[in-house]
Structure 1
């Protein structure tokens, strides 16, 4: 892990430090701050996860440029996937002016020029060689300006933010494995919006279990959530859904209950005891019967929900 903070250098050296750091992270060949040079701010953290570089950057308003000559010399040919957490702007790349901002995913082929204008910003970015995707470069390039429209974009964003959350806690084989998972999802993300139907079908099938898990976690509070609802949402049969879960040794209904109990336990641990709290929390996480919730909770945690709550608020 590497961390750079412009606040640790003198104002005279700050701009040079920011230009050098941004050039390394985004392969930019020009950095123009919006405002006085001595007010430029940059905090950047980087991790190497096998073949993937993960970058968390916060920077004051600026414009980044990468020229055509420098882009042609990109070696190895690489691209980046960026998720916005703060700041709005325009990303001009591959013949399209793409509005970017918080909660958006966009991509940049570093073998092509770009201009990136942004306000005070924070982003999380994954950088990788195009060859690692196993998809022809011309197909990759066609998809990049549409990457945020992929049905797998929410799944990749969730993975990227969770990877950032734990990146500082892991190293060695675990970090390499996390990078491999990121590459696999990036490949599926790109393949899902190519004009190659075979690649698209493979991408959706390869990520079905991950998409199901993300869908379930978003809908844990829905008491009507069941295998049929999940299957319909993912355009597969219930039989196929169970088959995919079985390959991963996942018992779908039991896993849903465990996820609901875990969310309820976390909320109870953070909530002061009050009349009606247990029932309200149970309903919020999809349990229509408070007695059923209590029975399941005790089986999982060996104490009742009320005892659990009291233990965390003594």
Structure 2
């Protein structure tokens, strides 16, 4: 993890520090701001997660410009996938002016000119080498204009947010696995709006397990959730779904039960003991039988649900 904070720099050096950091991360040619030099501020955390660079940046109002590419950059051609958390502005890129702001996803091909003008802002950004996406550069460019329209955008944004939350807690093989998942989702996101059916189908297949897991987590409270409904929602056969899970070493049914129990355990730890409370928690997490829930819970946590609740409220 790498952290930058302009507050740690003397006021007279602050502007130069922000310029160097922002133009370096975004491969921009210039950085300008209407703020006085000593009022310009930047806080940026950066992580390298496998083949993906992740940035969490807060910056005062500014304009970034990248002119026509001249001499080759030292780094490979890359794409920025940026999610807005705060701030509003305009991103002019590849012949299009796009409004950007909170809850919006936009993309930047760092080999092309752009002008990015925004007020006080916070963003999450994934930086990926175009070669790592495995998609021809011309198709990548076609896709970037429509990146926020992809049906995979909510999944990618949620993944990016969760990756930021745990980025400082994982390393080694775990970090590599997280980076691979992020790269696969980035590829699927771009491919889904690239206008090439074959590329899109391949990318969706690569991310089937991630998409299925996200689907399950949103529906854990549904007692009818099963392999058939998951497969139908993703337009694959149950057999194919099981094959994808097996390749990842995942037992689908056991994983669903594990996720339900984890959610129930968290609820019980947060709620005060009350008559009927445990049965209500069980139903909320998809268990139709309180006795079955209690048996499963004890097998997983070695205490009954009531004992678990009491331990957390003692």
> Normalising by the residue count of structure 2, what TM-score does the alignment of the two structures yield?
0.91
Whether 1:18 aligns to 2:22 is no
Greater mean alpha carbon deviation, residues 14-23 or residues 265-274 = 265-274
Inter-partner Cα distance in structure 1 for 2:227 and 2:65: 48
CA offset at residue 161 of structure 1? Answer: 2.2
Instruction: State the partner residue of 1:102.
Output: 102
Q: Secondary structure at the match of 1:249?
A: coil
Task: Answer whether contact 1:73 1:111 (CA < 8 A) is retained.
Answer: no
Instruction: For residues 91-141 of structure 1, give each alpha carbon's deviation from its aligned partner in whole angstroms, at most 9, with x where no partner exists.
Output: 221122222222322210011111222232211212122122222111111
Task: Answer whether contact 2:81 2:107 (CA < 8 A) is retained.
Answer: yes
Instruction: State the partner residue of 1:121.
Output: 121
Q: Secondary structure at the match of 1:68?
A: coil
Inter-partner Cα distance in structure 2 for 1:201 and 1:140: 15
Instruction: State the partner residue of 1:39.
Output: 39
How many residues are aligned here?
Answer: 313
Task: Answer whether contact 2:184 2:207 (CA < 8 A) is retained.
Answer: no
Inter-partner Cα distance in structure 2 for 1:177 and 1:252: 19
Instruction: State the partner residue of 2:239.
Output: 239
Instruction: State the partner residue of 2:290.
Output: 290
Inter-partner Cα distance in structure 2 for 1:242 and 1:132: 28
Instruction: For residues 177-233 of structure 1, give each alpha carbon's deviation from its aligned partner in whole angstroms, at most 9, with x where no partner exists.
Output: 433333333222222222221111111111111100011011112233222322222
Inter-partner Cα distance in structure 2 for 1:229 and 1:90: 41
Greater mean alpha carbon deviation, residues 153-162 or residues 126-135 = 153-162
Inter-partner Cα distance in structure 2 for 1:228 and 1:85: 37
Inter-partner Cα distance in structure 1 for 2:89 and 2:276: 46
Inter-partner Cα distance in structure 2 for 1:147 and 1:20: 28
Greater mean alpha carbon deviation, residues 259-268 or residues 176-185 = 176-185
**Which structure 1 residue ranges, 4+ long, deviate > 6 Å from structure 2?**
none
Inter-partner Cα distance in structure 1 for 2:60 and 2:82: 17
Instruction: State the partner residue of 1:64.
Output: 64
After superposition, residues 251-262 of structure 1 pair within 5 angstroms as 251-262=251-262
Greater mean alpha carbon deviation, residues 200-209 or residues 51-60 = 51-60
Instruction: State the partner residue of 1:161.
Output: 161
Distance 1:268 1:136, change over 3 A: same
Q: Secondary structure at the match of 2:143?
A: helix
Task: Answer whether contact 1:74 1:110 (CA < 8 A) is retained.
Answer: no
CA offset at residue 16 of structure 1? Answer: 1.6
Task: Answer whether contact 2:69 2:111 (CA < 8 A) is retained.
Answer: no
Whether 1:307 aligns to 2:291 is no
After superposition, residues 162-311 of structure 1 pair within 5 angstroms as 162-311=162-311
CA offset at residue 274 of structure 1? Answer: 2.7
Q: Secondary structure at the match of 2:266?
A: helix
Structure 2: tracts of 5 or more residues without a match = none
Greater mean alpha carbon deviation, residues 250-259 or residues 179-188 = 179-188
Inter-partner Cα distance in structure 2 for 1:271 and 1:176: 36
Inter-partner Cα distance in structure 1 for 2:224 and 2:174: 37
Instruction: State the partner residue of 2:84.
Output: 84
